[in-house]
Amino acid sequence: MALVPVLSPETNSELVVAVALLEAHDVFCFVHNAGFGGLYPGVQLHIHNARRIYVPEEQVEAALELLRDFDREIDAPLYSPMSGRDKFRMVVELLLFGWFMPDSRARRSSARGAGRD
């Protein structure tokens, strides 16, 4: 039984509605990253913590018919090329929110201070 991705919900409520709709019509579905994807708020990385709904090949047509109201391109690629605007935004976020990245300076300075006592 091969599973085919049919939807990548953007919010928890969208995920719950889509899964409930599929289950109500006896369409088996599997949610990749169901628990881990909603564990921590923040950046949604497709391969890391974004959720994706899969259905068996035999039920793809029924699932697509049920999920057509989600009006997003279901076969969208996982990765899209970044525009210059997106790259600029990432640089600005890195400069403004540098705390988001782990900092090794704090660990080094606390290790040096521990030996002075």
- Structural domains of the chain, ranges and CATH numbers in brackets: 3-70 (3.30.70.790), 84-114 (no CATH)
State the DSSP H helix or E strand holding residue 84, giving kind and residue range, or none if neither. Answer: helix 84-96
Which tops the pLDDT comparison, 107 or 86?
Answer: 86
Q: What's the CA gap between 116 and 53, in Å, rounded?
A: 55
For residue 22, which amino acid is it? L
pLDDT at residue 76 tops 80: no
Alpha carbons within 13 angstroms on the beta-carbon side of residue 3 total 12
Task: State the pLDDT at residue 18.
Answer: 94
49 Cβ partners below 8 Å, 6+ apart? 33, 36, 37, 39, 40
DSSP lists the bridge partners of residue 5 as 54
The overall average pLDDT reported for the chain is: 78
pLDDT at residue 33 tops 70: yes
Q: Average pLDDT for residues 42-63, to the nearest whole number?
A: 83
Task: State the pLDDT at residue 105.
Answer: 57
Which tops the pLDDT comparison, 33 or 73?
Answer: 33
46 Cβ partners below 8 Å, 6+ apart? 8, 78, 79
Q: Average pLDDT for residues 68-92, to the nearest whole number?
A: 72
Task: State the pLDDT at residue 101.
Answer: 53
- How many H-runs (helices) and E-runs (strands) does the chain carry? 4, 3
Which tops the pLDDT comparison, 74 or 52?
Answer: 52
